[in-house]
Amino acid sequence: MAVYNDFLEMRNITKSFNGNKVLDKCCFSVKQGEVHALVGENGAGKSTLMKILAGLFTADEGEILIDGRAVSISTPKQSQDLGIAMIYQEVRLFSDLSIAENIFINREPLKSPKFLRLIDWDSVYSETRKYMKQFSLDINPHTPVKNLSAGQKKFVEIIKALSQNARIIIMDEPTNALTEQEIDILFNVIRELKSIGKTVVYISHRIQEIKRIADRVTVIRDGRIVQTDDVESVDINTIIKAMADKEVDDRYPKLNVKPGPVIFKAQNVNLEGRLFDVSFDVRKSEMFGITGLSGSGRSTLARVLFGIDGGYSGVIEINGKKLKAITPKIAKKNGLCFVTGIGTGEGLINNMDISKNITITDLLRVSRLGMIDSGMEFHYARDFIDRLGIQASEKEIVDNLSGGMQKKVIFAKWLFTNARILIIDEPTAGIDISSKVDIYNIINELVLSGSSIIMISSDFPEIIGMCDRIAVMFNGRIQKILQRGECTQEKILYYASGGK
């Protein structure tokens, strides 16, 4: 893809709020048709810099050039007219309107004669369908936005930006509330944008993603631009170092609980071609993390440990009891459970209400004389809804719940079985921030009451922030097990990329 000269240039941008200098002589330039990542810690200034571009703030000093010409951006409209579109972390769509209505709001094509101001709805819907097809998005444009997943809402915002003839699309932490599958789709959309000549500025703190999607990366720290590099040639570790001298794990509510004796052991677990010689142990009241990059085998390992994928060799020991050929039934009987991701379809039963989903794991407890007692079902469900802070009625169908609520119902399901060892796959993927905080605290309480957690996560700050020990996997092997105090993102990346 041919790359032109700097199409957007910000020079010496300085901005203070109430005497605090937030941006200090920042120089940032973007070439047309590239995906340029802007990375930095929270509070480093990346959002502020982009909000100046979006017309929300005006810089105290400095200038902005587009296509080599100096421009003045003092209102969001001016920014939009220049072809700059900003997609914020929070969704800015009208949830009761459909996808198409959101995209064309205030700009609906009119039927002739135009003075009658009759909206040409056929046009609205067919245009929307065209855009969705272009990005291989298979959603009905009549769908009200509130029924969409977090990822789908993001795509609608991107399409809306495009339909307003945006030349440059700025995405602020776009993957925060997306599942891994949705992230893959998002990246495809971004590649498609590139191919039609659009420019993308991608603000993120997730280094692994930058490697996958960006052409160049700029690091901002404490209001200053530190460096700009080509993603292909730069060593990600230097990016991490440049971002901060402290870790981004200060926000995770970690409770230091003294671990007890070993209650779970995996020894020399092998799965033909996928897992090699995996051995580790987990103690009571411990949070044990397993991480690695895509394809490292972490999800496979989780499924093997719970017995979903059989055909493995090696020993799995729970509470000193050696189990051969573990199956989900045997696992459950021994207090081991698997809290799956919400998008996988394995966690909840669709079209069934919350109470049925919770009690399904142990129907005997809610049966009398061989028949299910709905009163008891609802009773237990209400108790869990209370304890876990699920804001819904026990009769609500799970499909209508948000990602965070669904995750809590999955937790409730396993807590109902008195599970003592919980394997949690991506605890907070696809969940809003408020629910993330809830999940961390739920896990804390579990650990405090004596349960053990095996947490599988691709979110490095999360796993560093919450776990006591972390196993880093690469190509089906555990490369290293790190202790909490010595773990940094750089170290994880090193082992996750094959370091020894």
Which residue's CB is nearer to another protein, number 129 or number 254?
254
- 């046009």: which residue's tokens? 123
Q: Token pair for residue 168? A: 């440059």
Instruction: Determine if 446 is a binding residue for another protein (CB under 8 A).
Output: yes
Tell me which of 317, 433, 477, 497 binds another protein, using CB under 8 A.
433
Which residue's CB is nearer to another protein, number 126 or number 400?
400
- 């407890």: which residue's tokens? 365
Tell me which of 109, 144, 328, 389 binds another protein, using CB under 8 A.
389
Which residue's CB is nearer to another protein, number 187 or number 252?
252
Which residue's CB is nearer to another protein, number 290 or number 401?
401
Tell me which of 252, 262, 276, 360 binds another protein, using CB under 8 A.
252
- Identity at 54, one-letter amino acid code: A
Which residue's CB is nearer to another protein, number 41 or number 127?
41
Stretch that binds another protein, among 32-40, 244-252, 282-290, 348-356 (CB under 8 A): 244-252
* CA–CA dist 487, 484 (Å, integer): 6
The dihedral region occupied by 285, where left means phi > 0, alpha psi between -120 and 50, and beta the remainder, is: left
* CA–CA dist 443, 424 (Å, integer): 10
Q: Smallest gap, in angstroms, from Cβ of residue 387 to another protein? A: 6
Characterize 404-428 residue by residue with b for buried, 16 or more Cβ atoms within 10 angstroms of its Cβ, and e for exposed. bbbbbbbbbbbbbbebbbbbbbbbb
Stretch that binds another protein, among 121-129, 195-203, 318-326, 387-395 (CB under 8 A): 387-395
Do the beta carbons of residue 440 and residue 466 sit within 8 Å? yes
Which residue's CB is nearer to another protein, number 79 or number 285?
285
Instruction: Determine if 254 is a binding residue for another protein (CB under 8 A).
Output: yes
Instruction: Determine if 251 is a binding residue for another protein (CB under 8 A).
Output: yes
CB atoms within 10 A of CB 156: 26
Q: Where are the alpha helices (DSSP H) in 1-149?
A: 46-53, 76-81, 99-104, 121-134
Site for another protein, residues 397 to 426, rule: CB under 8 A:
415, 418
3-state SS assignment for residue 284: coil
Number of residues that bind another protein (CB under 8 A): 33
Do the beta carbons of residue 383 and residue 436 sit within 8 Å? no
The CA distances from residue 102 to 157, 182, 452, in Å, are 9, 21, 46
Site for another protein, residues 31 to 60, rule: CB under 8 A:
42-43
Site for another protein, residues 214 to 233, rule: CB under 8 A:
none
Instruction: Determine if 235 is a binding residue for another protein (CB under 8 A).
Output: no
The DSSP bridge pattern shows strands 477-483 and 20-31 to be unpaired
Instruction: Determine if 444 is a binding residue for another protein (CB under 8 A).
Output: yes
* CA–CA dist 316, 293 (Å, integer): 24
Instruction: Determine if 442 is a binding residue for another protein (CB under 8 A).
Output: yes
The strands making up 61-66's β-sheet, listed across from edge to edge, are 20-31, 6-17, 61-66, 69-71
Which residue's CB is nearer to another protein, number 237 or number 444?
444
Q: Smallest gap, in angstroms, from Cβ of residue 422 to another protein? A: 12
Stretch that binds another protein, among 27-35, 56-64, 204-212, 438-446 (CB under 8 A): 438-446
Instruction: Determine if 121 is a binding residue for another protein (CB under 8 A).
Output: no
Stretch that binds another protein, among 202-210, 321-329, 445-453, 486-494 (CB under 8 A): 445-453
Q: What are the residues binding another protein (CB under 8 A)?
A: 42-43, 248, 250-257, 379-380, 383, 387-389, 415, 418, 432-438, 441-442, 444-446, 448-449
